[in-house]
Every structure is written in structure tokens, then in C-alpha cells.
Chains A and B, each alone.
Chain A
Amino acid sequence: MFRCVLTAAALVLFAGSTSVHAQKQQTIGAPPEASNMKLVGTNDLQARSAYQPTIHHQGDRWIAYIGHHGGTDDVPMPVNPLTGKAEPNGTSIVDVTDPAHPKYLRHLPGQEGKYESGGAQMVRVCDGKTLPKGDPNAVYMLRTFGSEAHEIWNVADPANPALITRIGGLKDTHKSWWECDTGIAYLVSGAPDWRTRRMTQIYDLSDPAHPQKIRDFGLPGQEPGSTGAVPTELHGPISTGPNGNRVYFGYGTNKGGILQIVDREKLLTGPKEPTPDNLRFPEIARLPMSAFNGAHTTFPMLDMPVAEFGEDKDGKTRDIVMIVDEAILNECGEARQMVWFADVTTETRPMMISSYTVPEASGQFCQRGGRFGSHSSNESMAPVYYKKMAFIAFFNAGVRALDIRDPYHPKEVGYFIPAITNATDKRCIPVEGGERCKVAIQTNNVETDERGYIYIVDRANTGLHILELTGPARAVAGLPKN
């Protein structure tokens, strides 16, 4: 009878665990999960782990340039079917003119190495005719080359890029920003003599063939020769150019985040020697975040009319910065990384006004495997979505579409979680005596184009998904019904 008791207990346990398990994990062949967003087209990106997508209107074509992390332990160098060769992950170039049938044009190999230690994660694109001293027939792609260099390629013929220049000798790189109308580039670099892996090297790339260094920049305490505590490293800046005259720097990944608001003119023309005083000179304000959160993306949306304040005598419009943290650990092994909205209208007194996260219980995301939390937002300022909607890459919760017209009360109006495929890579956590792995979507980045298509890419090798809004979400952006 004692055996019966044990059997009964084991059955109860087994039944409980399998039913929960079945609800949580994605399976190959299951449909995507979606609300007010639908799939238009896909490309597998040669099963390479994807980071930043940039969509560029090039003549009568639309081209997606997609950066990749390094390879994986299992597949350090995936085979490129176009060449038949194993190539270290670099940049995928995809013709998305017909978003229902994306055409893979070229894989441009990056630095050898796995995960964060290789690849070519970041990419920005400017037309030569827009850059002050560019070749008007050229289209320039600025990309990172692993941790060691920044490169500029002429991608006027996107299937046959030509290397123009290289800025090397670095110990790391990350998410740079390039002003196409001035050529000023804020390159996230690891200058060898700085005490941090990531700071800013500012270059004049108005003539991409002849880069001119302007200065190095970072937080006091990061500069060469300093001592004591080292402030949080840079993740990436976004500039509003000469008209807005501001650069918004985001420091931190999943901890100790800082939003730094900088006067662009003072940054470019002020004293350049990296002393603590000179580094402080262009700073207008800082917004230190909780130690629990970092600042991956600091996306400015200035002069936003807020309907709720429409009858107020003052403060009808607000300057807003959307701050997106990056989740790092699998299966909720850290504090929640999410989205924050800061009102920076009074620049020296920036204040956090609202936040957004995917409700964990809506998909039992902590149990699905891989990372759950935010990573990045779209960075396009094209009118179709700017100051109306934001799209957030949320790892195993896919992409989330937010109505941000009232940034004091952001609302989710749609989402899309792609189905996993045979290419989707596992994500593991340590357990007693080894590892336990699960397979889940890891939507890493999102970008939009001027037509309103939404491009999401996957860190776990599931490729590119091109989406469009449906139903009420289209009305938020003022798009016609489909």
C-alpha cells in the first residue's frame, strides 16, 4: 500500500508539472502569438544571431542592413548558402522592397568570435548625396567590426559592398549614431587608454573616405589617468542634430543606468582634452536611474503635445525621452528590465513620469526560457510612427506596440511573438551539476521604415520577421484600415 501512496504522489506531481510545462514553452509548428500585428514576410538570415536592423530607402528599393553577434558554441561560423563557405557572422543585406518576399543579397563577414566577442553588431546608413562631402552616387554603411573597429562601406550596389575606411585599434564597440546631414558620428568605442570598455569617440565623417577625429568623451572618472570608482559604461547616444542641439547618452545595460543630456554645440566645439572639467562642460543634466536598471536606448521625442494638458496655460507640450533597459539574464535571473518615460522639458530637472512592462503572467514568460524583459526600441524618427507609437523588442515576449501619444500613460496596443523554428537556438541556465536549456524566441531589436512596416530580428537565430499593424493599432498611427 505504501507503494500505492508513492505512485499516487508521483502521478500528481507529474501531471502538475507537465500541464504547466505545456502552457509555457513554445513548440515548432505552433502559430505565432499576435494581437493587432500580422506577419508579412520572413527571412532566416542564415540562422545568424541578429542585433541592429537599419532599413534604408535606396533609389526605388528598400534595403535592410542587419548586424549580427558572433557565432555560437555549436556553430561558430554558419555556412553562407550564397558562397558555400563558413563565414563569421557579420552584416546581412536584404532587399525588402517586396516585404512579403525579402531577398537575401549578401552576407558581409565580421570579426571571428562567438556571441558578444565577434560579429558586426551595429549598422547605420547615410546617402552620399546627404553627407556634406560624400560622393553623391554612394550610399555609406557604417558598421562595427566586432570589438576592434568601425568600418564604412559603399553599399550603392548592396550586393557588392566596397570597403571605404576603417577606424581600428579599439577594445570594444557598440551602438553608434551618425548624423547624415552633418556627417558627425558618435562612435561607441573602447579607446585603449580609457578606463571603460565603452565611451564616445566623436568623428567628422562628412567625407567618409577621410575621417576626422574631433574628440573623446565620457563621464569623469572614465578618462585616462583618473583613479577611484569608474562610472557606468556607455551603451549608445542619439543626437537631435544642429537644430535640436542635444545629444542624449544612455549609460548602463541592466544596472546603474544614467540618461545624460548634453549640449551638442559645446560638445563639438568645447575644450577637447579629456579632463574632468572638460568632460563636464557640455553636460546639461543627468538622470540617474535605479541601480536595478540600465539605459540601452535613450530615444528623444521633443515638443510632444499632450492632450490631457491641452487646456493648461503652460506645459501643453513636453520634451520626452523614452529609456529602454536591456535584460541580460535568462529566465528572470535579475530585476525586471523595462521601458521608462522621462519628462525633460525642464532640462536641468528631468523626471521619470511613467513606465511600461509586459505583464509576466500574460505569457508565463519567466518560465519560457531565454531572456524576458526589454532590450531596445525602434529608432526611426519617420513621421509614420514618431511621437505616436513605439515598438519595443522584449526578448521572449516578442515585439510590443505602444501607443505613446500620452507619454504619461503609455498603452500596449499590439504584439507579435514569432513561432520558433528548427534554427532557434537554446538558452540555458545553471542547475545542480550542469545546465538546463529551453528554446524560445529572443526578439532582440526592432526598426520601422517610412512605409510603416515593422522589422524584428532574433538573437536566438530565428531570423527576420516583417510585420504590419492591424485593427485598432493602425488607427493610433493614423494608418488607413487594411
Chain B
Amino acid sequence: MSAAATLKAWVGAALAAPVVWLASAVNVPLKSWQRATGTGGMAAFFLAPNMAIFGIFVLVPLVINFFYSATSGTAYFLQDRSYVGLEQYQRLLDCSNYLDTATCREDLFWKAVHNTGLFVVVQVALMTVVSVVTALILNREIAGRSFWRAVFFFPVLLSPVVTGLIWRWILQRQGLLNLIVHDMGGEPYNWLTDRFWAFTAAVSVSVWAHMGFYTLILLAGLQAIPRDLYEAAEMDGTRPARVFWRITLPLLMPNLLVVIVLALIRAVQIFDEVYVLTGGGPGTSNLYLTQYIYEIGFASLLRNPGLASAASILMGLVLVVLTLLQLQVGRRGERKGARQ
């Protein structure tokens, strides 16, 4: 063996030594643990750290939140708050006509519910269509395909607050858009104080910020469709529209359903970028559920932690339903995949 090879072996052994030492040190207790508990016990052992983090930061706050929703007062310590049972829920749900927010005791909550409903419908529909179209384009043999894929994915990497700020600077009264409009001889417009345009901006910015992620999922789906199906369709002289409806869309459906459900969950939770962009305005036309909870729980001078907790639990129930839907969709996709 040459001197260089000997040196290499020595260095390798020296570097590996701590790992070997650690592995042998851990090996003894792990072996006894496995002997005592079997493979199930080993799984529990490795899952324990994750479960502890999940328990401390998700489960415990969730349980505490339930207690908060059954109390009233401005104090933050549970022992300083008075028990009111379901009063906060009754207050939130007290409404003569759920379609007319003015008749509701907590009209701002219902305003937020209505706004969130409308936002979810419009944003998810637009997000899905835009993501599908973008994925179809990026799946073609276009020049600079990798570059364009990166361009469309880039906004996903931005912090939502940065996204909101950038678009606020563009859309505000003295913003970039009005500067361009003015330079082209047009009349500058106050986009963010107009209900229609502020909502349009909120939806568009949200789609711009997140479509890259959904496009990526759909792109993976498109690339999994066997090429020979398209070649067969081409040989049969099938029109492109028919190819899309009869081949692409049905085979993309599992991915599309995942995209729709994920977008739905994300849309219900909408907060940061729209909060920075519109502040919930004009008036309350862009006040969404999460902002309502944040305002009433922490930000407003009229803060009410109990009411905020009750509202967040009601919102959580909606998210649970959507998550179950997502799981159902995922399972159906898996079964279909297995059959194929």
C-alpha cells in the first residue's frame, strides 16, 4: 500500500471514529429497547421527538384554545378569566339572517365569513385555471423552459409580507401603476380604495404568489402521462382540444384534485399578503377570517381573546372538513393508481 493510500485510510478512520463511537454507544440501549418493545416500540422511539414538538406547539395550544373560547374577559391567564360556557359561540352565531351581516350580533365576523367564502370561490377557480395553463405551457418544448419554470416558481420563495409590500407599492395612489398610467396620459386611480379593484388585487396577488407551487404539482402529473397516448392521438389526427379533454385532463385529475383541495385550504387561511396589501379595506371588503381573529385577539383596542378563540375553533372545523376531503381525494388517487 502506498503512503498516500495509507494516509487516506488513516484520515478516513479518524473522521469515522466519532460516528462509530456514537453508533456503538447508542447501540446498546437501542438493542435492549427493541428486545423489550419489539419493532413497534422502535417506531415509537423514533417518532417521539416529532410527536413531542407536535404536541407542545400544536396539540397543547389547541386544547388551551378550547378553554379560552369558554371564558371571557381581557386577561390572558386562564385562571384570571371567567367561565362563560358557550356564550362566545352563541355571540358569534347570533344572526337573524346569515346572508345579511347587518342583522348579526358580530357583524364583522360574518362579514369576514362572507368575504372568505367569495375569496375562496374566485381565488381557487382562478388559481386552478392559471396553474393548469402555466403547467401545460411549461410542459411543452419551449425555448428556455427551465428558466421559465424558475420564473414562475420564484414568487413562492418570497415572504408573504414582501409580496404584499411590493404590490402595495405598485398599486397605491402614488404607486408604480399610477405613474405608468399618468405617463401614458391617463388619470391615476385609487385602486386600493375601490372595493372591486382592491378585491381583484387581493385575488390576483394571491394567485401570483402561490401558483408556482401548484404549477409544479401539475407539471409532475403531466410528465407522468405516457407519451404513447399522445402519439396515438396524433396518428389518429385528433384535434388538440380533444386531446386535452379526453387524455390530458382525465389523467391529470388526481393531481388536479390535490391542487384544488390544497388551494382551498390555503385560501381559507388567507391573511398575510392581503393584510399587508389592503389592511382589510376598503372598509371591511377584504377582511378575511384569519385577520378578524388576529384583530379581535391581539391587534384591536377592542381585543377579546375569548371571542377570537371561538372564531378560530369554528374556522378550524372548516379546515378539518377540507383536510378530510383532501385525505379522501389522496386515498382515491392512490387506489386508482394501484388499479392502473
A binds B: no
Enumerate chain B interface residues (CB-CB to A < 8 A).
none
Q: Which residues of A contact B (CB under 8 A)?
A: none
